[in-house]
Amino acid sequence: MVPDNNQLYQALFEDAPDGMGVLDNSGDILLLNRKALEITGYPDVAELQGKNIVHILDEADQNMFQESFSQVRSSGAGIVQKSGIRRKDGSLTRCEFQFSRVPGAANSPGIVIVSFRDVSERARSEEALISAVRMLNRFNSITRHDIMNQLTILLGYLELSHDMVTDNTLKEFISREEGAAETIRKQVAFTKEYQDVGVNAPTWIDLFAVVRETASVVDHPGMKVEVRIDPGLKVFADPLIRKIISNFIENTVLHGKTATEITITSSEQPGGLVIAFSDNGAGVPAEDKERIFTRGFGSKRGYGLYLAREILALNGLTIAETGEAGKGARFEITVPKGGYRV
């Protein structure tokens, strides 16, 4: 015997492993399942029916929650976000919310289905991991400072030795030693730029604002930078994406040879959002398109593109060079669906 659909849907709603709620178009609570009551600490749904869902949210998260709710109400697209729930006893628990809108019949505003789960333990683990990374970075900073001091002393003595020695063979040896010490100094200095990888949690970044700001502060004499990104476009990424954008512009200035302009665009493709950095310079030879992302590749023994790929991958973003040699370089960052919004 096929069960009645209403009974089936009711059973699925009540027995769902996550908290679930039905909200009207204003965000007022119509229904909550058993798991939702367990998470919020309310014994009876009647205590919350008719109240806006922000009533049970932490005050610090209410504005962001209402922004997401308004967005799903107007677009119908599902949105995921984290917010704190203030339980009936006053305690706070972190939850991950997901919204989806169900359109109503003619002249009906429809409803919004919200599901949420307690992620307090996960949040505590994430905070502990971030604290550990920050502590390691402090140690790295101290160690780097000490190494740089010793390298300064070493380079100073090598320079004195070079001036005092008359044997040409010894002079050649000292020159090579100076070159090795200078390479070490540059590599140690470079680690400072990316020491904050993973320290700050990924967040929604206003891409248009960040690109415009970064392009305005990077030194690119004689280079025109044109930004064609939709205002209001946001991507979910590590805050270090600012450094990655800066690195692309600096790479064109250093390696573009004949490049006179950089164009930065965004477009939605079947695979997600594509952010492209194009120039009109020499381009990248076909055999080097993948090698440029390997550690230490290039005449400068740089790590910029290698680290850019690794940092982007932390949040599921990918990068590839798709330009044509002789016509210009083109770096494309692909943001998967769900990782961007307007």
C-alpha span between 309 and 320 (Å, rounded): 9
Residues 32 and 64 in one domain: yes
Q: Classify residue 95: in a domain, yes or no.
A: yes
Residues 35 and 73 in one domain: yes
Residues 208 and 333 in one domain: yes
Q: What is the mean pLDDT of residues 2-26?
A: 84
Q: Classify residue 69: in a domain, yes or no.
A: yes
Residue where a domain stops, chosen among 169, 193, 217: 193
Which residues form the domain of 58? 5-118
Tell whether pTM > 0.85. no
Q: Classify residue 254: in a domain, yes or no.
A: yes
Q: Classify residue 271: in a domain, yes or no.
A: yes
pLDDT of residue 194: 67
C-alpha 135: how far from chain center: 21
Least confident interval from 99-108, 208-217, 232-241 = 99-108
- Summarize pLDDT for 39-49 with one digit per residue, the tens: 999 999 999 99
pLDDT of residue 106: 66
Residues 99 and 184 in one domain: no
Query: Model confidence at 303, in pLDDT bands (50, 70, 90)?
Result: low
Beta strands in the chain (DSSP E): 19-23, 29-32, 79-86, 92-102, 111-118, 203-206, 224-228, 234-237, 261-269, 272-279, 318-321, 330-335, 340-341
Residues 172 and 262 in one domain: no
What would the DSSP string read from start to end of 164-192? H---HHHHHHHHHHHHHHHHHHHHHHHHH
Residues 177 and 301 in one domain: no
Residues 114 and 133 in one domain: no
Least confident interval from 11-25, 99-113, 167-181, 280-294 = 99-113
Residue where a domain stops, chosen among 193, 212, 245: 193
Residues 109 and 150 in one domain: no
Number of other CB atoms surrounding residue 192 within 10 Å: 14
Residue where a domain stops, chosen among 65, 96, 118: 118
Q: Classify residue 242: in a domain, yes or no.
A: yes
Residues 109 and 135 in one domain: no
Q: What strand order describes the sheet that includes 224-228?
A: 224-228, 261-269, 272-279, 330-335, 318-321
Q: What is the mean pLDDT of residues 17-43?
A: 92
Phi, psi dihedral angles at 59 (to 5 degrees): -55, -35
Q: Classify residue 198: in a domain, yes or no.
A: no
CATH of the domain at 68: 3.30.450.20
Residues 149 and 90 in one domain: no
Residues 334 and 253 in one domain: yes
Q: Classify residue 36: in a domain, yes or no.
A: yes
CATH of the domain at 208: 3.30.565.10
Query: Model confidence at 339, in pLDDT bands (50, 70, 90)?
Result: confident
Report the domain count for the chain: 3
pLDDT of residue 35: 94
Residues 220 and 333 in one domain: yes
Q: Classify residue 316: in a domain, yes or no.
A: yes
